[in-house]
Structure 1
C-alpha cells in the first residue's frame, strides 16, 4: 500500500510515526500511528523509526511505501543554545524570545560584556548554537564587538548567529571569519521594538543543517525528504495556523518533563496602552520543572504532598507507580491531577501582570509581560491532554482563574476549548512548511472541541 505522507516526531523518549492519505482532499485521512522508544542511545535513530513503521504495518495489515517523509525532533538534547546580548530587558529578552519561539532549549544567558567565566560555562554546556546580539541599529557597538572577539577564540564548532546592531556587520564577519557564521536582522532594531521572526527562521535552518550530525541522527537523511525542524517549533507553527482560523489562541503541551505554552495574540488594546515593554505576537515559554513523568516529583512538591494525600488515599503507592502509561483508573486520575496543576500554572507563568508604580505625579498602572486577556480559544496537546479520559477536566480548569488572580493577564472570555485528538500538532507544523493548505485541512480534521 502506498500512502501520501509519513511524519516522524522523534522525541527524547518516544518516536511516533503517522501515516496520512488523501492529503490533497478537503478531508485528509489519518490512516494509522506507530510508536517505539527513541533509539538514540543505540547509536541509530532510524531503528526506532523502523519499529514504529512495523507497528503501522501491523495495524493496517500490509506493507507500506510512501510519497513523502517529514520529521521533527527534540532528541539528541534538542537544540541547545546559549544567548548573549547587551541589556537584559532589551536585546537579551528579544534574543530569548527568538530562540524559544524557534524551538531552542536555552541553557545559558549573558548580558553586557562577557567574562572568561562565561566562556568557561559555554564550554561546559557545549551548545549546538550560539546566539549573539546587542545594540539597537546604529547604537552601542563596543559590547557586541568585544563579545565577538571572546567567542572567536572559543574551541567549539558550534555555529554562531548574529542578530544585533547592523552597523557592525562587516566587523562581525571579519572577527568571526573562523566560525560558521549566520547573519540575520537585528532582534531589537529600535528601542521598544521586537523583530524576532527573521531570527527564528535562521535558527531553524541552522538546526536542520546540524541536527543530522548529532550522535545517532546521521542516518535520518536516508528517510526525510525535507529539512527536520525542532518539535517545539513545529507546535508553534501549528499554533500560528490555529490563529489564522480562530485569531487569539493559546496552546499548552504537557509532556513528561516540561510544559510548553504557545500564544498568538496582540492582546487587549487597553492593556497594550499601559505596557512598559514590547512582547512578541507569537510567544513560547517552557516550564522545565513541570511534567507528568520525569518531573512528576517536582510537581508533587509544588502542589504539596499534604494536598494530594487528602485527595488520594493510596498516595504513596500512586507515587511509586508513576509511568508515562498509567495502568489503572487511579493511576490515570493521579496523572490528571498533576497535569491540571501543570496546565494552570504553565499558563499563569506565561501570562504577564498588572502592577502599580509610584511616580512624582502619583500612582500609575502599568502592565508587564504577555497579555492573554484577549485569548478566546485554548488548545491542548501532548500525551496526557490528547489521550487522558480526564482531558476535559484538565483543559477547562483555567476557566474563571482570572477572577482568583485579578492582577494576572489571564484569559477572561474563553469561547472554545479543544484538543489535538490524534497527537499530531507537531506533524501538522512540519507539513505547513511545505503546504499550508494541506496542514490546515489536516488540522481541521484533527481538532475536537468540548462543550463549555
Structure 2
C-alpha cells in the first residue's frame, strides 16, 4: 500500500488529493484519504502547491519522501499557438488537431500564403509557438518557402515547430536562422496519412520548458524532481484510456460481489463509495463509455472532448476532408463562466436574449437585459465571484430577487458556453443537389449517436440541478440548421453525468500509470442527473 498525492494547479483554484493505492486481489483501486482546495497563488504558484502537500503530510504524519507525487498545471493559461498550413481541410486541420491534443490553445490559424496582414496579426498575438505545417513529403515547396520568408519579418521570436514537407526542412531552418526552430515529423506525410504524434510530443516539451519558468513552477520542479503536465494533456490522455479501462472493470466485476471499497472514503465534502453503493457503480457501467463526450467548463475557456469512432453507413452521405481522430479536443477561448463572460455575450447574444426573455416573461425585456449585462460586468471584473446559494451574501430580504436572478443568469451563461462549444466541436451535414437526388456532404465529426456526456469544471461539477437535457436541446439546433441547408451533428439523446467534486483533472494525472484505478475512481464518483 503506497501513498499518492495528485495536484492540479488551475487558474483560479489549486486542488489536490491524498490517496492510497490498494492492491486488491480482485481489482486494484484508490482510496481518497483527504481532499484540499485553495485559491491559486497566481504571483507564486508554488505556495498553493506546497500548502496542500504539507497539509497532507502533517494531517497523516507522512514524510514527503515517502509519497508518490503527480501534478499538472494550466495556471498560465497553457501554451498559446498559431497554426499555419496550406489547405484548410488538410494540413491546417491536422495542425489544429495536433496542437489541441497536446493541451495547447490555438489563438489563430492561417492557410495558403501568409500576407503582410497575417504577419501583423501574429505580432499582435505574440504566441509561444508557431506550428508551421504544409505539403506532403516531396509535395508543395513554394508556399512553405514563401511562408518562412514572411515569418522572418516578424518582430517577435516565438518557437517555430516545422512539421511540414520534410524535403525542405533544412531550407526552412536556414531562412529562420534567427528563430528557435524545432523540426518534427510531417503531420501529413502522405495525403491520407495523419502523423500528429511527433509534433504533439514537441509541443509538450516546449510547454514544459516554457511554462516551468513562470511564477514559481520552476521551484516546484526543482524540489519535486520533475515538471508538470499541461492539465488538458492529462485530461486528453484520460479520455483516451477510459473505454479500455471500463471494459477491464466490467469483466472483473460482472459476477463479483463488490466488497472492494474502490475509491472514495467518507471525508468532508466527498461522498463515500459506500453511500453510492454497488448499485450506483454498476448502473454507471451499464452506460456507453466507449463513445462519450466530456465538457470541462471553466472560467476562461470551455474544453470539449470526444472519444468516438465515426463511421459512415449512409450511401447518401459523402465525407469531405481528412477523417476525424477518434479522440478529439477543442478549446474555446471566448466561452467561459467568468473571465470570458463578456465574450460569451458577444458570441451568443441571440441565444442569451431568447433564454432571458423566456425565463423572465413578467419583466420588461430591456430591464432584464440590463440586469444581466450588469451581472456580466461584475463577474468579469471579479472572476472569483460565486453565487451564495445559502443567501448569506444578501444584506436584506429585498435582495432575494437579485440572488435568484443570479442563479438563472449563471445557468443561461453556462448553457450558452456548452451549446456553442458543442456546435464548434461537432461536424456538419450540408445539403447538395445532384441531377437526380439530394446528397449530404459531411465535414467534421458525427456525434448524433453519442449518448454519454460528462460535465466537469467548477460550475458543472457543483451545480447539482443543472442537466443538459433540461436546459439545452441539441436536436432543436440541428433541426433549425437543417432549414438553412446545414445540420449540426450533435447528440440526439443524452445520458448526462456530473463529475461530482470536480475530481477528473486531479485523477487524470494518474491515468497514464494507473488507468484502471483512475477509471474506477471516476466512475464511482459520477452522478447521473
Out of 360, 381, 390, the residue aligned to residue 456 of structure 2 is 381
Alignment of 1:300-315 (within 5 A): 301-305=349-353, 307-308=355-356, 310-312=358-360
Looking at structure 2, the residues matched to 136 and 385 of structure 1 have their Cα atoms a distance apart, in angstroms, of 42
Show the 5 A alignment for 1:15-414. Answer: 15-22=14-21, 24-25=23-24, 26-40=28-42, 42=43, 44-53=44-53, 60=59, 65=64, 67-151=67-151, 154=154, 156-176=156-176, 179-244=179-244, 245=246, 246-270=289-313, 274-278=318-322, 279-299=324-344, 301-305=349-353, 307-308=355-356, 310-312=358-360, 316=371, 319=375, 322=379, 324-328=385-389, 330=404, 331-359=406-434, 363-392=438-467, 397=472, 400-401=475-476, 404-405=479-480, 407-414=487-494
Q: Is the 8 A contact 2:432 2:438 kept in 1?
A: yes
Q: Which runs of 5+ in 2 are unaligned?
A: 247-288, 391-403
Taking the aligned partners of 1:341 and 1:334, their CA distance within structure 2 comes to 11
Describe the shift of the 1:393–1:113 C-alpha distance in structure 2 as closer, same or farther (beyond 3 A). closer
Give 1:396 shift: 7.6
| Cα contact 1:243–1:249 (8 A) shared by 2 | no
**Secondary structure, aligned partner of 1:391:** coil
- Which residue does the alignment assign to 2:8? 9
Partner of 1:447: 526
- CA contact 1:258–1:288 (8 Å) conserved in 2: yes
CA contact 1:291–1:342 (8 Å) conserved in 2 = yes
Unaligned runs of 5+ in 1: none
Report the alpha carbon displacement of residue 229 of structure 1 after superposing the two structures with TM: 2.0
TM-aligned CA distance change 1:446 to 1:158, over 3 Å: farther
Measured after TM superposition, the shift of residue 319 of structure 1 is 2.4
Change (3 A) 1:193 1:127: same
Contact 1:130 1:161 in 2 (8 A): yes
Cα separation, 1, equivalents of 2:337 and 2:182: 37
CA–CA distance in structure 2, aligned partners of residues 23 and 332 of structure 1: 41
Taking the aligned partners of 1:100 and 1:253, their CA distance within structure 2 comes to 14
Local SS of the residue matching 1:204? helix
Contact 1:336 1:391 (C-alpha < 8 Å) held by counterparts: yes
CA contact (8 A) 2:78 2:207 kept: no
Cα distance between partner residues in 1 of 2:10 and 2:100: 17
Residue 255 of structure 1 contacts residue 382 of structure 1 at CA under 8 Å; is this kept in 2? yes
Q: Is the 8 A contact 1:129 1:159 kept in 2?
A: yes
Offset at residue 5 of structure 1 (A): 2.0
Q: Would you say the 8 A contact 1:80–1:105 is kept in 2?
A: yes
Residue 341 (structure 1) shift: 3.1
2:259 aligned residue: none
Q: Deviations over 1:375-415 (max 9, x none)?
A: 1321111011111122335688457557745622122354x
CA distance in 1 between counterparts of 2:174 and 2:118 reads: 23
Provide the TM-score with structure 2 as the length reference. 0.74
The higher radius of gyration belongs to: 2
Q: Compared with structure 1, are the counterparts of its residues 356 and 386 closer, same or farther at alpha carbon in structure 2 (3 Å cutoff)?
A: same
The 3-state SS of whatever aligns with 1:428 is: helix
**CA contact under 8 A between 1:235 and 1:426: conserved in structure 2?**
yes
